[in-house]
Chains A and B, each alone.
Chain A
Amino acid sequence: EVQLVQSGAEVKKPGESLKISCKHSGYSFTSSWIGWVRQMPGKGLEWMGIIYLGDSDTRYSPSFQGQVTISADKSINTAFLQWSSLKASDTAMYYCARPRGGWPNYFDYWGQGTPVTVSS
């Protein structure tokens, strides 16, 4: 069974750094992509970027390029999303999700979400 399990809720202050994770199981990690999607409170879904787990080829939405870093560690079947300096506007729910087959594509499996709160 395919599962994407994300790290827990985070509460941070503006200017702090953060790295959240998404651990997969149930399918071949190295032959797949994992994407990240933001959902701000009460709002819609925004695609942030995606990483190919085989060679760490990474693509970013122009809206998020330079704002976040996506990475992966094959040895622990995990993808990461990180910020070097958080802002209050980064407060949101963050989902990892697997696109079916190649890229670009729709997402057939989703993590449970990691809520991030940035407040002074």
Chain B
Amino acid sequence: DIQMTQSPSSLSASVGDRVTITCRASQGISNSLAWYQQKPGKAPKLLLFAASRLESGVPSRFSGGGSGTDYTLTISSLQPEDFATYFCQQYYSTPLSFGGGTKVEIK
């Protein structure tokens, strides 16, 4: 099974800050990685897939990168609506697995 380690588990940032979240897989996943945003009491929302492809309707301030085992989600200029929890997910093999989540809080 592939383990996904996400860091940090939480961070505090201000509106306008650049924020980067990291996700590390226990083995190579060939860019089969998605990122989700979840707000309290809501279902997760797909942001990016294939490591760097932006889902339709998602603002361009969100971007993804990486390869092999190491991947990143970057928010170029944090907006008030971006305060949420972010999860990565590998779909390279089953069982599917998610990172533990990163809670982005207001500084």
A: residues with CB less than 8 A from B are 35, 44-47, 59, 61-63, 95, 97, 99-100, 104-108, 110-113
Contacts and interface: CB of A to CB of B under 8 A. Distances in A.
A63 B93 CA distance: 15
A50 to B, nearest CB: 9
Interface of B: 1, 34, 36, 43-46, 49, 55, 87, 89, 91-101
A59 B96 CA distance: 11
Given A47-B95, A97-B43, 14 more contacts: A44-B99, A44-B101, A45-B44, A45-B98, A45-B101, A59-B94, A61-B95, A95-B44, A106-B49, A108-B46, A108-B55, A110-B43, A110-B45, A113-B43
Contacts of B45: 110
B44 A110 contact: yes
